[in-house]
Amino acid sequence: MTDLPLVLGRLVAAGVAFLIGFALPTPVVEGPVVVHTAASQRADSGGERVRRIAAPPRRAASAGSGRNTTTTPDATGTRRTTVPEPRTGTGRATTRTGGDGPSAATARGWGTPTREDDFSAGLGDWGVYDGAGHGGNGRRSPGAITVRDGVLTITGTPDGTSGGMAWNPGRKYGRWEARVRSPAGDPDLHSVLLLWPDAEDWPSGGEVDFMEISDASRRNVEMFLHYGADNSQVQGDVDVDATQWHTWAVEWTRDHIAAFVDGEEWWRTDDTGILPPGPMHLTIQLDNFGNPGQQTRMEVDWVREYDV
């Protein structure tokens, strides 16, 4: 009996401690949440960095690739039809200042290109689109494409005229890189570098848009990987000043597709179930997505293709 007060005292003390702990729990300190908005902030690798989206087809099924027919350069490699150039500052002396800039091929040791084009001899063996525009919007005309001082320019105009061109033949697996700039322009005219199926079996043949710019200020660039008969898509984007020259690259292997800007990987998927099923080739397009209100252009300094 003499121990009862002591026992009761201990029970009371334990109850008070429990109540204090319940009312005032130990604070949990969380680390900062890092939001990557630029290529320089993203990890070099590390698995799938994509956003899956449910979106309607970006190309109408009846439009196919939008090529319709292509025209072939003449013996000198130059276009037979041209339009007056409304731009300035696209000469070689201006665009080549500072050299080619950083590239994935240099940073990652891709070796010697299997083919390349710096547009010093016109359009070479490119197939130029001549027919209905993207999704039936306007027209893709050979006259929208010009070459001057080794720089290719595609110009889109408010009447709906734009242009595109294909670099055939394609291949299954490879690396492609291009040096591009896109001055600020109309949001309905998208500057695009993409891989398109040789079999012309879109959408089941896939589509890899490794540089697509719809932002009117040209300061945000998107990546779209299309797959499957229902045109499913995965997507990512990176903030970069695309009005300046940058090198954009894509690497397609048996186990992944990765996108690069100035030699740095900024997008990747390791999901082999959504990779293209057959050979693909590079195309350069200024796509009309509706009703452009102002003249817009994209410029390409060079393109290169590499083995994997």
Q: What gap in Å lies between CA 242 and CA 135, rounded to an integer?
A: 25
Residue 286 in domain: yes
Domains contained in the chain, number: 1
Residue 127 in domain: yes
CATH number at residue 201: 2.60.120.200
Residue 190 in tokens: 């998208």
Output the pTM of the full model: 0.73
Residue 29 in domain: no
Residue 50 in domain: yes
Residue 23 in domain: no
User: Quick check: 233 and 241 in contact, CB under 8 A?
Assistant: no
Residue 4 in domain: no
Residue 21 in domain: no
Spell out the per-residue pLDDT of the chain, length 308, in tens: 445 454 455 554 555 444 444 444 433 333 322 223 333 333 332 233 334 433 333 333 223 343 333 333 333 332 222 222 222 222 222 334 345 789 999 999 999 999 999 999 999 889 999 999 999 999 999 999 999 999 999 999 999 999 999 999 999 999 999 999 999 999 999 999 999 999 999 999 999 999 999 999 999 999 999 999 999 999 999 999 999 999 999 999 999 999 999 999 999 999 999 999 999 999 999 999 999 999 999 999 999 999 99
Residue 24 in domain: no
Q: What gap in Å lies between CA 220 and CA 208, rounded to an integer?
A: 17
Q: What gap in Å lies between CA 56 and CA 60, rounded to an integer?
A: 9
Identify each DSSP E strand in the chain by its residue range.
51-53, 69-71, 115-117, 127-132, 139-140, 145-148, 151-156, 161-171, 174-181, 189-197, 207-213, 220-227, 232-239, 246-252, 257-261, 264-269, 280-288, 296-306
Residue ranges making up the domain that contains 61: 41-306
